[in-house]
Structure 1
């Protein structure tokens, strides 16, 4: 049963970024599914690694875009990205040491990314949409 799903209310109306956000939420949901179904350490570990890899790729893409447009609050936005990646890598390390992934942890991971998209990323989306078209 799907727990986390895309909601158009968090769309930035920038297709490339929205598509990546949809995929990111899908990876969080895949991790939730793997944990809920007790699919085993190997499967859960693989899904967690794929989630981390996707998050890093997505954040790098966003940050490149920000830099290319001289986004004025790039540094604080990047700090949020760094925080989330650190949390994911900490979770991965604890999991490798035998700690189970709790529902609360999964809720935090999903809630954080949705709040980030609704706030910080929406601000970036507005910034991009306000750039005069040449």
Structure 2
């Protein structure tokens, strides 16, 4: 059951990045579902590592776009990315030690960060990217 749903509120009209964001959200929902039953299993830990790797690849893609276009707030944006990657590292390293409710709360916090990042940080750079390079939306 999806806990976190994609909404048009965070859609910005940049197809490639939005596709990645939707995939991230789907992975996060799968992790949340898995955390209810098998949060200490190797499968869950493996999925968590896979999610973290996918997040890192997505951030690298975004940061490359920001670097190419000279986005003035790219350093701040990269710091935001580094912050969530560190949180994901901590969760992955200690997942077997958490109680189920604590792990679910951590995943909820990751989602909250993701949602706020989309609404506050990504919105600004989406607007900038569209102006700097109109063909990045496809």
What is the TM-score with the length of structure 2 in the denominator? 0.89
Q: Could you tell which deviates more after superposition, 80-89 or 36-45? A: 36-45
Aligned to 1:90: 90
Q: Deviations over 1:8-46 (max 9, x none)?
A: 210121001100000011111111011113365111101
The residue correspondences of 1:19-34 to structure 2 (distance < 5 A) are 19-34=19-34
Moved over 4 A (4+): none
Consecutive unaligned residues of structure 1, counting only runs of 5 or more, are none
Consecutive unaligned residues of structure 2, counting only runs of 5 or more, are none
Q: Is 2:115 the partner of 1:114?
A: yes
Q: Which has the higher contact order (CA 8 A, sep 6+)?
A: 2
Aligned to 1:125: 126
SS of residue matched to 1:119: helix
Determine the C-alpha separation between the residues in 1 that align with 2:9 and 2:129: 18
Q: Is 2:48 the partner of 1:51?
A: no
Determine the C-alpha separation between the residues in 2 that align with 1:80 and 1:86: 10
What is the TM-score with the length of structure 1 in the denominator? 0.92
Determine the C-alpha separation between the residues in 2 that align with 1:7 and 1:36: 24
Q: Deviations over 1:51-103 (max 9, x none)?
A: 1010000000000000010111110000000000000001111115x323522
